[in-house]
Amino acid sequence: MTTPISSQRQSQLHQLIGSPIFDRNRPDDGACEQTFAELIRLVDDLLHQSEKAGHRVDFTNGVGVHGKIQDITSLVESIRRSVIPQTGLPAHFAPGQFNCYYDAGNGYFANGVFFSADYDADVAFFVDEQRIYLRHHIERAVQEAEQHLLKPTTPTTRL
């Protein structure tokens, strides 16, 4: 279930996008998974709010469109459903379900999961078989949704 995103939650969203938790040299202490889950929750809420207001954020660049994944909005929704229970409980990642990689490259994570990342200077998050980038996907989707939601409405004049 999505909820309208308040200015406080929108501020939190921007803080998470710029969080040092997603920095390349940060130790793997488990904080990245929970921060990512909260980020996805907020992004999903914002994208749904934008869609309800008449603008679906629907870019597909690097999204890996297949099956139920049609665009960035459906990718974010799919990732949210896979890690955040509908019951409102905290996010839960099964062992090997969440991985991240910095820069472009491909190979295998220590848990045996294959990865492929296309962009230098970006972090790719992998949840199950889904890949989403912090800058190329999440940040762009937030910008597009906010542009639509913050667009001033022009008053209609009556004659």
Question: Which tens digits make up the pLDDT trace of 102-151?
Answer: 999 999 998 888 899 999 999 999 998 899 999 999 999 999 999 998 87
Measured CA to CA, the distance from residue 102 to residue 43 in angstroms comes to 21
Domain assignment of residue 158, yes or no: no
**Cβ-contact 145, 46 below 8 angstroms:** yes
Domain assignment of residue 25, yes or no: yes
Domain assignment of residue 155, yes or no: no
0.75 exceeded by pTM: yes
Q: Take residue 29 and report the two structure tokens written for it.
A: 């202490």
Q: Take residue 55 and report the two structure tokens written for it.
A: 């603008």
Residue 11's H or E segment, with its range, is helix 7-17
Total structural domains within the chain: 1
Domain assignment of residue 156, yes or no: no
Domain assignment of residue 159, yes or no: no
Cβ neighbours for 112, distance < 8 A, ≥ 6 positions apart: 96
Q: What is the pLDDT at residue 94?
A: 82
Range of the domain at 44: 7-149
Q: Quickly state the pLDDT bin for 89 (edges 50, 70, 90).
A: low
